[in-house]
Structure 1
Amino acid sequence: MRKLLNLAFGYMLLGVASGLFYREFTKLNDFPEGSWTQLSVVHTHLLVLGFVVLLLVLLLEKAFKLSEQRKLFAWFLGTYNAGLILTTAMLTVHGMLTVLGMESSKMISGIAGLGHMGLSAGMILLFVMLRRSVTANPTRPVAAEATPTRH
């Protein structure tokens, strides 16, 4: 659980820093305000897909003990995080090229596509773990567990 918390915190810091970078980099390079660049969505990807999603996974871990499925959980974390890092890195590179007035390449788009595939695979693994946890542990009355029995 600590790993999930640390990852979520790291993505929150990166998300905020990338928003600051976007604002300052575009100002520094006199990029026309209101013009679109992929730099403008890097912070959103990091904050939502990194910070928020991993906080939700932390709650799911608390409720369903997802990490008990060791191999699947490791695959989920590795695949999802690699996908998110690759995706946001390519958004950053492509956005910087746009701001600098340089041409992007199909290679950057292809690598970004691989990042999105990693994110998708990670989400599928998350749902596989959730399905296994939910079907293996049918719903128990929470109130009955919290209330001590009297003899």
Structure 2
Amino acid sequence: MKKLYYAAHAYMIVGLVGGLYYRELTKLNDFTGDSQLGLVHTHVLALGMLFFLIALALEKLFTLSAGGLFNGFFWTYNAGLVITVAVMTVRGTQTVLGHHTPEAAAAIAGVGHIALTVGLIFFFINLGKCIAKASATTDPDSRPQPADR
């Protein structure tokens, strides 16, 4: 459970710093256009902090960490998010500074998105199994009924 909390907390810090970085960099460079840098803040807060807070609540309800795919989900999803956000930050910074971003950045971002997708697949398979296990133990139809008097 602490792993999910620490991930949410770390992404909260990174998301807020990302927003500050965007604001200050664009202000210092008198940049008024669009760049991927403006999306970093919301992506990190939504896909990082909020997602892991929701996963934390689901952990409390269904003990997700006991599932066989939990570690695969956790590390794959985090790797994908870190890669995706790093590429967004680099590309956005290059745009604000007026530099061209190499085409390889798009391929690297694609790898990040693929890792996020695989992590989400692991998450939902694991969640489904944990819900099924919890339902089997709490389903009123599966419990013995008291004898009539």
TM-score of the pair, normalised by structure 1 = 0.88
Divergent runs of 4+, >2 A = 139-142
Q: Secondary structure at the match of 2:69?
A: helix
* Residue of structure 2 equivalent to 1:19: 19
Q: State the match for 1:120 in structure 2.
A: 117
Letter in 1 for 2:116: L
Which residue number in structure 2 is paired with residue 10 of structure 1?
10
Aligned equivalent of 1:50: 48
- Identify which of 125, 133, 137 aligns with 1:136: 133
TM-score, normalised relative to structure 2: 0.89
| Cα shift at 1:24 | 0.2
Percent of aligned pairs sharing the same letter:
45
Cα distance, 1:47 vs. partner?
A: 0.1
The match for 1:94 is 91
What corresponds to 1:145 in structure 2? Answer: none
Q: Distance in 2 between matches of 1:133 and 1:125?
A: 12
Aligned equivalent of 1:41, options 30, 39, 42: 39
For 2:30 and 2:106, the matched residues in 1 are separated by 25
1:103 match: secondary structure: coil
Correspondence for 1:111 = 108
SS of equivalent to 2:135? coil
Supply the distance in 1 between the matched residues of 2:55 and 2:117 (Cα, whole angstroms). Answer: 15
Q: Distance in 2 between matches of 1:116 and 1:96?
A: 20
Compute the displacement of 1:5 (Å): 0.5
Q: Which residue identity lines up with residue 114 of structure 1 in the other structure?
A: V
Q: SS in structure 1 opposite 2:51?
A: helix
| Deviation of the 1:61 alpha carbon | 0.7
Larger displacement relative to structure 2 (53-62 or 127-136): 127-136
Cα deviation for residue 131 of structure 1 reads 1.1
Q: Distance between the aligned counterparts of 2:127 and 2:74, measured in 1?
A: 14
For residue 137 of structure 1, give the secondary structure of its aligned residue in structure 2.
helix
Q: Which runs of 5+ in 1 are unaligned?
A: 143-151
Aligned to 2:144: none
> What do residues 56-101 of structure 1 show as CA deviations (whole Å, max 9, x unaligned)?
00011111111112x4111111000000000000000000110111
Backbone CA RMSD of aligned residues: 1.4
Deviation, 1:26, is: 0.7
Q: What's 1:28 paired with?
A: 28
- 1:30 Cα deviation (Å)? 1.6
Shift of 1:123: 0.7
